[in-house]
Amino acid sequence: MIYDEIRNISRYRGISSNLDVAIDFLEKTDLNNLPLGKTEILGDKVFANVMEAQAKDEKELSFEIHKTYMDIQIDIEGTELILIGLDGFYEKEPFSPEKDFGSCIAEKSARLKMGPGRFVVCMAQEPHLPSAAANEDRRLKKCVIKVAVED
């Protein structure tokens, strides 16, 4: 997991070439101007999904896990909590390779407060629980950039 302010994202260059492509995109793009839905950046290796959602109580949500992609989660409007699963997690919903998605339960987690100006990179195979309510106003507009893990 990488958790920082978006203005510092260039510090994380060199981890992978696909992540570098995502960083280039974020440095050149005003996320407020992206349309809802999918925006291709580098075919199926790097793409953005912009969505509007309602944050929910943590009890209503599950940790998710991906194996093919890492997620860069960014709040464009609103503020959410994202939990990162630590040691001791187990499968809740079987992993689907076609969807690159599975759900799990984490016994311990770190809580990250998001909001405009912050980002988190959830690494592949790192359990994360996005869209948890951080306050009374639960409206979110967010961008999730999917970055393919390189072999």
The string of pLDDT tens digits covering residues 37-78 is 999 999 999 999 999 999 999 999 999 999 999 999 999 999
Is the distance from CB of 104 to CB of 91 less than 8 angstroms?
yes
Burial 11-42 (b: 16+ CB within 10 A, else e): ebeeeeebbbbbbbbbeeeebeebeeeebebe
Is the distance from CB of 139 to CB of 75 less than 8 angstroms?
no
User: Residue 89's pLDDT is what?
Assistant: 84
User: Residue 78's pLDDT is what?
Assistant: 98
Compute CA distances 114 → 39, 69, 121, whole Å: 22, 21, 12
Is the distance from CB of 61 to CB of 105 less than 8 angstroms?
no
State the burial class of residue 98 (Cβ atoms within 10 Å of its Cβ: 0-12, 13-18, 19+).
exposed
The string of pLDDT tens digits covering residues 83-113 is 999 977 888 989 999 999 999 999 899 999 9
The string of pLDDT tens digits covering residues 123-139 is 999 999 999 999 999 99
User: Residue 103's pLDDT is what?
Assistant: 95
For the residues 111-124, what does the mean pLDDT come to?
Answer: 97
User: Residue 151's pLDDT is what?
Assistant: 72
Question: Within 10 A of 111 (CB to CB), how many other CB atoms are there?
Answer: 12
For the residues 14-33, what does the mean pLDDT come to?
Answer: 97
**DSSP 3-state of 98:** coil
Least Cα distance to 109 among 72, 82, 91 occurs for: 82
